[in-house]
Amino acid sequence: MPLNVIMLGPPGAGKGTQAGRLAREYGVPKISTGDSLREEVTRGTELGRLAKATMDAGHLVPDDVMVALVRDRLLRPDTASGFVLDGFPRTVPQAMELDTLIQERNHGGLLALQVIVPLDELFRRLYIRRICGLCGSDAAPGTLDDAVCSKCGGEFIHRTDDNEDVVRERLRVFEAQTEPLVAYYANSSPTSTFFKINGNQPLDTVTAQIRAAVEQTQRAAGQGADGTQRVALGRQDVTS
């Protein structure tokens, strides 16, 4: 049974960190659309040039561009046993396209994890967040300004879209366009299981709760009364 996971949550909720941990633990690729776009910007491709202005304004890159990017990525052989998506889908049309792509790709169910963090904590995290200017890795929280990246030796920088005005705009866009996804996954997506995760806890506690959600979903998926695998449908809270 493939493990297909998406992480929903505002900028700064910790989706990228938790997506990376989950992907490593279960041996599936982490696919971050934000990282992919930043790579395109660094490489100076046409997509990178198109995306940069949009990202720096805190707006969303058009759905058709993002769907094409994710479709290409999901067609690679390493997604046959699943994936963890970070940053996609971000709109209801993207979510509907993802349902279709999964049917074409590996026919698994989808586990949607909504990571919840209060607004003041999001601002605090984004204000101190640093990434490597060379490879794009996130610096561990609390990394000193003069530290260098342990993966490639690059210097840490502030993301150009992490300044206060752009963060406000990204949060506004999140509320308007991405929050409706919660209703989509909680109520209407044909093949998904939905969990809420309290992201305002120590990193390892959040990881443990995500792992519990994955294991519960996998158990439910294996319990078809007729002996066949079935996809669990439902809504669960793991917020304590």
- Catalytic residues, by residue number, are 15, 90, 129, 159, 170
170 binds ligand ADP (CB under 6 A): yes
> Using CB atoms, what's the residue nearest to ligand ADP?
34
88 binds ligand ADP (CB under 6 A): yes
Binding to ligand ADP (CB under 6 A) within 29-58 occurs at 33-34, 37, 54-55, 58
SS3 category, 135: coil
108 binds ligand ADP (CB under 6 A): no
Binding to ligand ADP (CB under 6 A) within 184-223 occurs at none
Residue 122: CB minimum distance to ligand ADP, A:
10
Among 87, 108, 109, 136, binds ligand ADP (CB under 6 A): 87
Residue ranges of alpha helices (H) inside the chain are 15-26, 33-43, 46-56, 63-74, 92-105, 119-128, 164-173, 180-183, 203-221
What is the DSSP secondary structure assignment for residue 15, as one 8-state letter?
H
98 binds ligand ADP (CB under 6 A): no
Task: Using alpha carbons, list the distances in angstroms from residue 218 to 15, 80, 136.
Answer: 21, 16, 32
178 binds ligand ADP (CB under 6 A): no
**Contact 5/113 with Cβ under 8 angstroms?**
yes
Spatial CB neighbours of 149, under 8 Å, sequence gap ≥ 6? 132, 134, 135, 137, 139, 155, 156
Q: Which residues bind ligand ADP (CB under 6 A)?
A: 11, 33-34, 37, 54-55, 58-61, 66, 87-88, 90, 94, 161, 170
